[in-house]
Amino acid sequence: MSDLERTGHPRPAGESYTGSGRRSHSILIVLFLIYMSDYADRYVISSMIHYIQEDWQITDAQAGWLMGIVLLFITVFSVPASILIDRWSRRKMVAIMTFFWSLATLACAFTSSYFQLLVARAFIGIGESGYAPGGTAMLAAAYPEEKRARVMGIWNASIPLGIGLGLAAGGLIARRWGWHHAFGLVALPGMVLALAAWFLPDYRSVKVQDPGTGIGRGFLRDLTVVFRIPSLVLTYLGFAMNVSITTALMTWLPSYFERTGIAEPGQGGALATPIFALVMVGAPLGGFLADSWAKRQRNARLLLPVLSSVLAAITLWAAFSCAGQKFLQIGILCAYGIFITGFIAPAAAVTQDVVHPGLRAFSYAMCVIVQHLAGDIWSAPLLGWLSDRIGLPQAVFFIPAYGVIAAIFFFFGSRFYVRDLDRVEKVRLEPELAP
């Protein structure tokens, strides 16, 4: 069987990456800062739920949808965004979408009803829909393959900084000046970073051999190619289960601390911030460990997520079993903060490893879509719905089960990874002319 028959692409010789030391690092630094802005804008609301509920008398389920609506619209718009990214320009799309979601966050500051805020949050999701696919594709090309997981780990360490910034800013500003002002202040950095992204180095878009014509035929071809790669599909599902845990927890942990009495109203976000900040340890550590392990065992980029997912589920269950014991519970949750993010870098690297370079943004967009549809779109609203019925301290015990399911998906994905990796076409990438 030929390479074209197996993978949908012929196999030319040679593989390259477009970066140099300074060039690659400039891409990583700007994308790191933009990812911080992304998550600050998305999660600033988590530490302000108490104040919004006081103003508008909304339920926990309705409050959960203020997060869920962002993820829903990310899901809906990820495909068209990723098509533009792969076929037009990664840096231009990153710049445009960063400005768009920052503008939508600013609009949240001027809302006067639950419905208006819900709509503004939906526009944040539209803006964020293309960033992770575009940024992942840029970094995959900027660094050599053997460093891919560790680079993804460093990049993803920006997530807790953004979450921490959003949680801290939201709670602090809401207490002093009102929650509307918090949206306006966290929106401003993204507008500046959008301009910086426009001038980043990039590579020329590469085409995938397509016997058909038009976007529709190309999309169906791309979809077929991606979902014929079993290690990729199972990675998507493992991602979905773990992200459903983190989204539910990042949305509700500040409220959980306040309702169990270990934090005052409006201060739960500050207590939760150190836990999420440990992604700065877990994400890079997972990348470094996976790349080191992969030198001895090629499927290590999926075996490490198996271990980290199981450990995260165990520690999270143990933490919830210590409700009301502040220091013990926080200590266990800190261990959870490291374990839960160990999967991110190696799993993100897998989404780039086993696909044609012309499908890298599309591959990560499919990861985003699966993780939202199968996981975090409904995880925060579902936890809110359960909280309305049995109370938040009891509802959180349902969350750790998803970590065990994630480990199962990653384990079966590891059984196919080496075979799928060997089938990937190697393509020589050329730097794009400076903007």
d(CA 220, CA 218): 6
Token pair in block for residue 340? 């839960």
Predicted confidence at residue 16, as pLDDT, reads 46
**214 assigned to some structural domain:** no
Token pair in block for residue 218? 């190309």
Sign of CA dihedral 249, 253, 255, 259: positive
Please say if the pLDDT value at position 71 is more than 50: yes
Residue with tokens 């579902």: 382
DSSP 205: -
**5 assigned to some structural domain:** no
- Which of 59-68, 124-133, 264-273 has the weakest average pLDDT? 264-273
- The mean pLDDT of 12-16, rounded to a whole number, is 43
**14 assigned to some structural domain:** yes
Helix axes 300-320, 401-414, angle to 10 degrees: 170
What is the per-residue pLDDT across 33-46, written as a single tens digit (0 to 9) for each?
A: 999 899 888 888 88
Predicted confidence at residue 72, as pLDDT, reads 84
Token pair in block for residue 370? 């699966």
Choose among 234, 249, 232: nearest CA to 341: 249
Please say if the pLDDT value at position 14 is more than 50: no
Residue with tokens 């994630």: 406
What total of structural domains would you count in the chain? Answer: 1
The DSSP result for 36-78, as a single string, is: HHHHHHHHGGGGGHHHHHHHH---HHHHHHHHHHHHHHHHHHH
pTM: 0.69
Instruction: Report whether 268 contacts 252 (CB < 8 A).
Output: no
d(CA 374, CA 188): 32
d(CA 78, CA 364): 9
Reported confidence tier of residue 279, pLDDT bands at 50, 70, 90: low
Choose among 260, 282, 293, 266: nearest CA to 391: 260
Instruction: Report whether 34 contacts 190 (CB < 8 A).
Output: yes
Predicted confidence at residue 432, as pLDDT, reads 59
- The mean pLDDT of 195-218, rounded to a whole number, is 63
Predicted confidence at residue 118, as pLDDT, reads 94
Reported confidence tier of residue 299, pLDDT bands at 50, 70, 90: very high
Average pLDDT, the chain: 81
Instruction: Report whether 229 contacts 420 (CB < 8 A).
Output: yes
Please, which residues bridge with residue 431 across strands?
A: 203
Please say if the pLDDT value at position 320 is more than 60: yes
Separate counts of helices (H) and strands (E) for the chain: 22, 0
d(CA 69, CA 119): 8
Task: Please name the residues in contact with 270: beta carbons below 8 A apart, sequence gap of 6 or more.
Answer: 47, 167, 168, 171, 172, 263
Compute the C-alpha angle 391/45/107, nearest 5°.
140
**35 assigned to some structural domain:** yes
What is the per-residue pLDDT across 321-367, written as a single tens digit (0 to 9) for each?
A: 887 788 888 889 888 888 988 888 899 889 888 888 778 778 887 88
**351 assigned to some structural domain:** yes
Task: Count CB atoms within 10 A of the CB of residue 89.
Answer: 20
Token pair in block for residue 11? 């196999």
Please say if the pLDDT value at position 145 is more than 60: yes
Token pair in block for residue 45? 């609301």
Reported confidence tier of residue 3, pLDDT bands at 50, 70, 90: very low
What is the per-residue pLDDT across 184-193, written as a single tens digit (0 to 9) for each?
A: 888 888 999 9
d(CA 178, CA 365): 36
- The mean pLDDT of 196-219, rounded to a whole number, is 63
| 3 state DSSP class of 319 | helix
Which domain does 236 fall in, by range?
10-203+223-422
CATH code, domain with 308: 1.20.1250.20
- The mean pLDDT of 396-402, rounded to a whole number, is 90
**218 assigned to some structural domain:** no
**3 assigned to some structural domain:** no
Predicted confidence at residue 225, as pLDDT, reads 86
Residue with tokens 């009891």: 394
d(CA 283, CA 345): 6
Task: Please name the residues in contact with 95: beta carbons below 8 A apart, sequence gap of 6 or more.
Answer: 194, 195, 197, 198
Residue 302, CB half-sphere, CA atoms under 13 Å: how many? 29
Predicted confidence at residue 4, as pLDDT, reads 38
Token pair in block for residue 393? 């301290």
Q: Which amino acid is located at 431 in the chain?
A: P
**409 assigned to some structural domain:** yes
